[in-house]
Structure 1
Amino acid sequence: MTTVPGRRSSTFTRLLRHGFTDPSAAERLLDLPELSSVRSDPVLLDALGATADPDLALRGVVRLVEAEEPDERQVLLDTLVTAKPLRDRLLGVLGASEALGDHLARHPRDWHALVTYEATDLHPGVAEFEQGLAGADDPDSLRVAYRRCLLAIAARDVCGTTDVAEAAAELADLATATLRAALAIARTAVPSDAAQCRLAVIAMGKCGGHELNYVSDVDVIFVAEPVDGCEESAAVQAATRLAAHMMRICSDTTVEGTIWPVDANLRPEGRNGPLVRTLSSHLAYYQRWAKTWEFQALLKARPVAGDPELGAEYVEAVSPLVWQAADRENFVADVQKMRRRVVDNIPADRVEREIKLGPGGLRDVEFAVQLLQLVHGRSDATLRSGTTLEALRALAAGGYVGRVDAAQLDDAYRFLRAMEHRIQLYRLRRTHLVPEAESDLRRLGRSLGMRTDPITELGQAWKRHASVVRRLHEKLFYRPLLDAVAQLAPGESRLSAKAAVHRLEALGYADPAAALRHLEALSSGVSRKAAIQRTLLPVLLGWFADSADPDAGLLGFRKVSDALGKTPWYLRLLRDEGAAAENLARVLSAGRLAPDLLLRAPEAVAILGDPQGLKPRSREHLEQEVLAAVGRAEGAESAVAVVRGVRRRELFRTTAADLIGSYGTEERPAEEDPGALVDRVGNAVTDLNAVTIAGALRAAVREQWGDTLPTRFAVIGMGRFGGHELGYGSDADVLFVHSPREGVDEQEAGRAANQVVSEMRRLLQLPTADPPLIIDADLRPEGKSGPLVRTLRSYEAYYRRWSLVWESQALLRAEPMAGDEELGRDFIELIDPLRYPMEGLGEDAVREIRRLKARMESERLPRGADPTLHTKLGRGGLSDVEWTVQLMQMQHGWVEPGLRTTRTREALAAACAAELISGEDAQTLDEAWVLATRVRNAVMLVRGRPGDTFPSGPRELTAVGRYLGYEPGHVGDMLDDYRRITRRARAVVEERFYGA
């Protein structure tokens, strides 16, 4: 800001208030004799202050007034004061565009182009612009007429008479009229060439899409045909001369400046190919040689000049090729790669200022919209617009893009295009860089209506819109569903009934008629919901078919969709959010357990769309949720109902993660380490059951005793529960221990403890839609004959006097799971000497353990069961591995701290590290244990009920195989591999456990 020494004039202050940045210079300009009649008029000063750059606008007025003839000068000044529409338009242009100010200084009479204010003037089309260019019979007169028309477009734009999309369309229409005028000048210059050929000019890019910038290359393609009686080669040569002449007229720079470059590099073979080709030559190239990006470019092809019939023939001929482009191999990946390459090629010092090509820029919107068009437009003609915003509206109307996403993209695109327009309008230069100078940023911000703090407001708005564009570009442009739709055969992306039957049969659906009924129920009608389903279903059908039971997958999808049909987020989730649709397809078609859990509470499908949704929740997180819910509940039954609902939801999360981790998806490949999957399931289900018991315990205590039970109470996990190795169908093996609080009678404490146990078990087994949690206390002292709950002292007395070796072995997996933490630690301190005896086990104890194991093998294996395929008691199964590991724990745990764990795999690894077993043998046992555990989990997932052996039905057996990584038709390989792996494990057991 210029400062003025001494006293400031009232005019200086007014200028400052009206937004002038150099009020001293403005004062001097207003004092010029030419402005004497208007210098004190407040209307003019207010109007100047309303422009993007009042200083620039005032300088433009002075230059224009000085350029006018004296008799015209006063007419202009009087009009500026009295005619508000003209004043706003003229000053608006002068305050936004130095280049158009230069034009008016050279051609002062052109301000009259802004006088009219009629309906045709508000939204002119090609015909009106052709009238504006009429009489321009040489290149320079065409340039002047073009700028005069541009002046009117800019005036409507900066005054808000047209919006950014309308301004872009007017610019494209002006370009069309200009190309026609330039071609007419070229034809007149060489009539003989014009007589030999039919030449059509096809607009591409933004001109073809009716969304041109103020300054942009006008991309074109030329197509020619000979007139009757003329040879093709001569006609093409004549057409080439005409096309080149037309390009020079538009592209050359003279004293009147330039119109814009005409760029024909989108033609076949680019700049290395002939400038003009015949229609058949174009088609031959596109059918044999064209790359993916060339079809993407043709999406905007539009005939604009020359022979209209030939132009229409060209577009009609290439259009089917455009809408077949998505059938090309790696089509989606190629388009995505091309967009990344554009960003990578931006110089590092410019990438943050690139409003067009940079991340979050205009290209992000355009590429996302075009990719969606090319994929879905094959079968939906409503999407085939060359205009970005029109196509975006069609995508939203068809359900391919969410309404909110489309509205945000539309808003951001309009803002970014408005920025681009105003940046280019200033000097009429082709640029997409946001300026760095404060004066330029200020003018830009004010031109967009930001007046309080233009620079800051502009930066914030630009950042906000760019962030929205980038986020939605990543969401739409890279979503897996898009590639899956593109891979469908032509015509399959929207199913007809006949096509659906054939597809269902080909995909292996057992009951195509029933499946078709599901499809019709899901996709019939004209609602937005049906439209989205018609997009989703062809892809989902393929994913369902990639399972052992596609019919079950489709039925499950219909049930979930029926349950959530009126929920607005459900279909939007499947369409938009990452791998949600594929995840859901895998989960619904992999067996009964996960769909049953989901259908009891379908809203849990949201888990599948959250990138973090498949990760198990920590025990601490779950315990906080559960105990808070119990605290809010009115009674014990309602409290435990909520707790069991949390368990159901988390079981679904765990089963879904297990299935997706085992099968994999396009976005997330199957995990290579089956042991990691087993450990994750075991830990998650164990934590979940522990939290569920903790919630039931709190509810039972609160119901009768409030916050404090008369006795300290703890739940000790045993077996697989204590070992963090639970499967989906496992019971929770437990011991209950209590210790009377100070001053409480032991009998009273015992009654309270037993009441709590009874109430917990009742609550957890109430008949509801949620899966029950069975608590099994049969591993307690004296088994079913012994008391359900004992005091810590009672356990101590029993173990000291009566404990048998098998009980010490069972205690190897004891771990506190709920209740009083200190009491749990006291119990562990009590039992450690029993399970890790000093000096290890004596020979008698070892013989007793071996005898018990042999007896179990001979007596407990179910009649008729194949001992080579029984996962728990069969050869090399869970029992074999676990007893072998436990024997080493009891023999050496007193000297090897690593063996003091309740977890089988950890103990086996520790034994290997201590060189108690060779690495090869440890690996053999671990592989067998993991495989047997996975088979048990698979059986529960597939059948919905637990089992210790492979299912007999072929469909269920195939589903187990898919979970284990075997392709259909390889069930025999799965059984052979299981027998081989467990046979090797049994050999290790014979040596390590039995001493054979």
Structure 2
Amino acid sequence: MPRIESTAARLAKLGFADGAKAAQLVRQAGTDLDDLLESLVTVADPDLALVSLTRLAEREPAVLDLLRQDEHLRSRLLAVLGVSAALGEHLVRHPGQVALLATPRLGDARAELLRAVGAEPDEPEPRAGGEDPLVALRVAYRGRVMHLAARDLTGQAGLGEVTAELSDLAGAALEAALAIARAEVDDAEVRLAVVGMGKCGARELNYISDVDVIFVAEPREGADETKALRAATRLAQAMMRACTVTTSEGSLWEVDAGLRPEGRSGPLVRTLTSHLAYYKRWAKTWEFQALLKARPVAGDLELGAAYVEAVNDMVWSAATREHFVEDVQAMRRRVEAHVRAEGERQLKLGPGGLRDIEFAVQLLQLVHGRLDPLLRRRATLPALAALSRGGYVGRDDSRGLAEAYTFLRQVEHLLQLHRLRRTHIVPSDEADLRRLGRALGMTADPVGEFTERWRRHAMEARRLHEKLFYRPLLQAVSRLRESEARLSTTAAKARLEALGYVDPTGALRHIAALSTGVSRRASIQRTLLPVMLGWFADTPDPDAALLGFRQVSDKLGSTPWYLRLLRDETAVASRMARVLGTSRYATGLLMHAPEAVAMLGSDEELAVRSPESLLSEASAAVSRHVPVLAGANGGGAETAVAAVRALRRKELFRTAVADIFGLVDIEKVGSALSSLTDVTLQAALDAALGPARNVTSFAIIAMGRLGGMESSYASDADVMFVHSPLQGVAEREATDAAYAVANELRGLLSLPAP
């Protein structure tokens, strides 16, 4: 007993969670495992791996020698045993398959699985002939899953390779199941194609997942169509049974044909013509979204390819259907409604889950893919990359979505591998979380680090999903009466809050005010706002940005150029959004000079103007209004200075925006602000002089920051006034005139802004 306790302590120190049980297993193994313990403690769950290894060694003692001799075999086998209790059980039943793990790459999956059921792979329509083909299919299939899992868990296969190989393996299994079905059903009169849908069609299948399919049949030349369809239906049913029936080796997975026309209430098998007739007349929006993933995977591949080609144009024109976006949003909402009880821990369907990413990507694909063939990708990550390259998704957003999707899929695979069961729920048990964290390379604090990364990726996925789903929110508040809104006010508020809006109720009011109605102005705003709202959300103050946008739009919305400029010039709209959400000072300037929006179109427009050009424009404004300079038609000093101050606000806005976008450095900002103040003072002095110009010379001396040409946006204009009587003018008269000019100047510059 003391020796066992000592061994238990040593094993616990090495990293086994239950040192006593591990010590007992080592003792029962009847052989020295010390040389394997260091490898065992590096896997995700050393205790689980030890249990499976001792059972496997009991069944096949030579396994331990193989592990000692082959380092690659050892790392692969122990990695599998440390994650998957189910594959450990499989190896105990079939220890001969350990040898598969010593092979770097396996041969063609279709050929292997067909041979396993006694069919000849080279035949045009293979037919099973072996004994107990259902069991043989399952054993061969799981051997290949085990081999792939070993490469996956040891970092020898990335996510894309894993999901593609699982999808191809599923296609091979469907082909073998079809060979079994042909041995039961006379198929002489019919061609049958199996079209993969969903993740199978997109080559992004999980380890354990329903395999979604659609069946397409055509009678052979001279055959009766009705009889051929009956035979095809029996063949499809037999194929599905071959995959789903439970045997001594369990089942493969469910084959789900629910995506077919009319769903489960429709015929299992249709001809190509029948499929097309349904899609042209009766299909709903979600059916075209599902067809985006369609790919021929088994049976008559030529017929399957013809089906995919025939529906392709309908898929990529689906976005032109009435209420397309609302239909996509409604489907997503229905999915969310089914997972409320466990939504927080749902990797697939919950908020921030895989479906959020997939729906956002598919929506963008369908909207933009009609005109951009480069977006027509089945799988999520390649489609996301294409959207980023095409500029439909920002690089940072694309990177965030891709990282979240990759992490969530890896976790999903680890969850499913454990028991080879379909699950998408993150466990709450600490031992399960520890296994997940260690499998992902987290060793210091596997539970804490895993939880933090999972939550972070889920929040980012949700934020970006909502960002890409702005259009449904916009339509809810701009086109429908409150009683008809398909997106509830509560849901709309929640979406705005998730994107950083502090006052979602106020935001909804602004959106409605801008976009409600049938006018051209409201129509253009409905086009602009989805994008603008996303840009506002990326600023420090989205609420202020939206409020400022509404205020500027109220001032300029009726002018013909304003909304057209925003619609046609992306740079103007995006820069405007950033300015409105970054600087209340710049926004205030824009409120008084809304026409300054036009200068946001290019860096050249934002270049700081020279003092000479500013003085020329300001002097011209004064000349138009001051009677002494303009003659009888002048409008007075107040009007002249109001024009100069308007010029000043516009130029302050130019400088502030250039500052926000890093087009000028701090020294240049100080110089520009000081020059602008100089010009304003000079122009105001010209307006204020009046008759005093014939009495005395008057000068303004800049002091402080203004004198040093380093003014800030909030700087006062510190100055001194100096005058000198003209020749022949009494000093008293000149001094009185100078005081009058100074007071007039200060009064003109302190008038409220118009």
TM-score range, shorter chain: 0.5 to 0.7
Where do 1:62-77 residues align within 5 Å?
Answer: 62-68=54-60, 73-74=61-62, 76-77=63-64
Contact 1:207 1:219 survives alignment (8 Å): yes
SS at match of 1:431: coil
> Which residue in 1 is equivalent to 2:503?
none
Alignment of 1:242-261 (within 5 A): 242-261=235-254
Instruction: Report 1:601-640 matches (<5 A).
Output: 606-608=575-577, 612=581
Match of 1:327 in 2: 320
1:469 alignment partner in structure 2: 461
Work out whether 1:428 is the aligned partner of 2:424.
Answer: no
Q: Which amino acid aligns with 1:144?
A: V
Q: How far apart, CA to CA, are the structure 2 residues paired with 1:427 and 1:62?
A: 19
Could you tell which deviates more after superposition, 469-478 or 750-759? 750-759
Task: Give the TM-score normalised by the residue count of structure 2.
Answer: 0.68
Mapped contact 1:61–1:94 kept (Cα < 8 A) = yes
CA contact (8 A) 1:125 1:170 kept: no
Aligned partner (choices 35, 40, 47) of residue 34 of structure 2: 40
Taking a change above 3 Å as real, the CA distance of residues 748 and 22 of structure 1, as seen in their structure-2 partners, is farther
- Other-structure match for 1:53: 45
Q: Secondary structure at the match of 1:375?
A: helix
User: Who wins on radius of gyration, i.e. which is larger?
Assistant: 1
2:21 is equivalent to residue 25 of structure 1 = yes
Letter in 2 for 1:270: G
Instruction: Find out whether 1:647 has 2:649 as its counterpart.
Output: yes
| 2:725 aligned residue | none
Q: Kindly tell me: are residues 598 and 408 of structure 1, through their superposed partners in 2, closer, same or farther at Cα, counting changes over 3 Å? A: closer
Matched, 1:366 2:323: no
The CA deviation at 1:23 is 1.1
Q: Bigger shift: 55-64 or 403-412? A: 403-412
Distance 1:286 1:126, change over 3 A: farther
Cα distance change on mapping 1:575 and 1:223 into 2, 3 Å:
farther
Distance 1:82 1:313 in 2: 52
SS at match of 1:31: helix
User: Deviation of residue 379 (structure 1)?
Assistant: 1.8
Q: Where do 1:646-795 residues align within 5 Å?
A: 647-648=649-650, 704=702, 775=748
Matched, 1:314 2:270: no
One-letter identity of the residue aligned with 2:438: R
Tell me which of 85, 92, 100 is aligned to 2:79.
92
2:392 alignment counterpart: 400
User: Which one of the candidate residues 71, 94, 108 is aligned to 2:95?
Assistant: 108
Return the alpha-carbon distance in structure 2 between the equivalents of residues 189 and 7 of structure 1.
58
For residues 345 and 363 of structure 1, what CA distance do their matches in structure 2 show? 13
Deviation by residue 1:753-810 (Cα, 9 ceiling, x = unmatched): 656557669xxxxxxxxxxxxx499xxxxxxxxxxxxxxxxxxxxxxxxxxxxxxxxx
Structure 1 segment 453-468 matched on structure 2, within 5 A: 453-468=445-460
Q: 1:974 maps to which residue? A: none
Q: Is the 8 A contact 1:165 1:414 kept in 2?
A: no
Task: Provide the residue aligned with 1:282 in structure 2.
Answer: 275
> Alpha-carbon deviation of 1:336?
1.4
Q: Which residue of 1 aligns with 2:333?
A: 340
Corresponding residue number in structure 2 for 1:79: 66
**Structure 1 residues 150 and 706, CA, compared in 2 at 3 Å: closer, same or farther?**
closer
Provide the secondary structure at the position in 2 that maps to 1:314: helix
Correspondence 1:141 to 2:136: yes
CA–CA distance in 2 between the matches of 1:643 and 1:102? 83
The aligned counterpart of 2:690 is: none
Q: After TM superposition, give the deviation of residue 378 of structure 1 in Å.
A: 1.1
Which of 177, 194, 212 aligns to 1:219? It is 212
CA distance in 1, matches of 2:648, 2:422: 59
- Measured after TM superposition, the shift of residue 17 of structure 1 is 3.8
Cα distance in 1, alignment partners of residues 298 and 573 from structure 2: 57
Provide the C-alpha distance between the structure 2 equivalents of 1:21 and 1:645, rounded to a whole number of angstroms: 75
Offset at 1:608?
A: 3.1
Structure 1 residue 113: Cα displacement = 1.2
Look up the equivalent residue of 2:577 and give its one-letter code: L
In structure 1, runs of 5+ residues without a counterpart are 484-544, 558-568, 624-632, 654-691, 709-745, 762-774, 778-815, 819-936, 938-996
Match of 2:344 in 1: 352
Partner of 1:832: none
Deviations 1:235-257 (A, max 9, x none): 11111111011101111122211
Q: Name the CA distance, whole Å, in 2 between partners of 1:49 and 1:434.
A: 24
Residues 620/13 of structure 1: CA separation in 2 closer, same or farther (3 Å cut): farther
Which residue is equivalent to 2:630?
none
Change (3 A) 1:249 1:585: farther
Given residue 220 of structure 1, which amino acid in structure 2 is its aligned partner? Answer: V
What amino acid is aligned across from residue 312 of structure 2 in structure 1?
Answer: S
Distance 1:585 1:481 in 2: 20
5+ residue gaps, structure 2, are 120-129, 476-518, 593-607, 619-643, 656-675, 686-698, 707-731
Cα distance in 1 between the residues matched to 2:55 and 2:733: 107
Distance across 2 between alignment mates of 1:112 and 1:594: 69
Secondary structure of the structure 1 residue equivalent to 2:213 = strand
Partner of 2:383: 391
Question: Could you give the per-residue CA deviations for residues 871-896 of structure 1, whole angstroms, max 9, x where no partner exists?
Answer: xxxxxxxxxxxxxxxxxxxxxxxxxx
What is the alpha-carbon distance in structure 2 between the residues aligned to residue 651 and residue 704 of structure 1? 23
Cα distance, 1:694–1:116 mapped onto 2, change above 3 Å: same
CA distance in 2, matches of 1:24, 1:341: 49
Q: Is the 8 A contact 2:208 2:422 kept in 1?
A: yes
What residue in structure 2 maps to residue 266 of structure 1?
259
* Equivalent residue letter for 2:25: L
SS of 2:364's partner is helix
Residue 606 of structure 1 and its aligned partner are, at CA, apart by 2.0
| One-letter amino acid matched to 1:143 | R
In the TM superposition, residue 478 of structure 1 has moved relative to its aligned partner by: 2.4
Post-superposition shift, 1:394?
Answer: 1.2
Separation (CA, whole Å) in 2 of partners of 1:705 and 1:352: 63
Aligned counterparts, 1:231-242, within 5 A: 231-242=224-235
- Relative distance call for 1:639 and 1:454 in structure 2 (3 A) is farther
Pick from 157, 160, 163: which aligns with 2:155? 160
TM-score, normalised with respect to structure 1: 0.52
1:450 to 1:225, Cα distance in 2 relative to 1, 3 A: same
State the Cα distance separating 1:229 from its structure 2 match. Answer: 2.5
The 1:695/1:126 distance shift into structure 2, 3 A limit, reads farther
Query: Is 1:377 the equivalent of 2:373?
Result: no
Q: Deviations over 1:944-992 (max 9, x none)?
A: xxxxxxxxxxxxxxxxxxxxxxxxxxxxxxxxxxxxxxxxxxxxxxxxx
The change in CA–CA distance for 1:416 and 1:595 in structure 2 (over 3 A counts) is closer
Q: Distance in 2 between matches of 1:6 and 1:332?
A: 70
1:532-571 alignment runs, 5 A limit? 546=520
Question: Which digits, 9 at most, give the CA deviation of each residue in 1:550-604, with x for residues without a partner?
Answer: 9xx9xxx9xxxxxxxxxxx99x969999999x999996992569999999xx878
The separation in 1 between residues aligned to 2:564 and 2:284, in whole angstroms, is: 44
The structure-2 alpha-carbon separation of the partners of 1:756 and 1:7, relative to structure 1 and needing over 3 Å to count, comes to farther
Return the offset for 1:199.
0.5
Relative distance call for 1:611 and 1:195 in structure 2 (3 A) is farther
C-alpha distance 66-607 of structure 1, shift in aligned 2 (>3 A): same
Partner of residue 768, structure 1: none
Alignment size in residue pairs: 585
2:332–2:359 contact (8 Å) kept in structure 1: yes
User: Does structure 2 conserve the Cα–Cα contact (< 8 Å) formed by 1:336 and 1:478?
Assistant: no
Q: How does 1:468-547 map to 2 (within 5 A)?
A: 468-479=460-471, 546=520
In structure 2, the CA distance between the partners of 1:638 and 1:129, relative to structure 1 (3 Å rule), is: farther
CA distance in 2 between partners of 1:323 and 1:576 (Å): 31
| Aligned-partner Cα distance in 2 for 1:177–1:610 | 56
Give the match's secondary structure for 1:318.
helix
- Whether the 8 Å contact between 1:201 and 1:222 is mirrored in structure 2 is yes
Q: CA deviation at 1:163?
A: 1.1
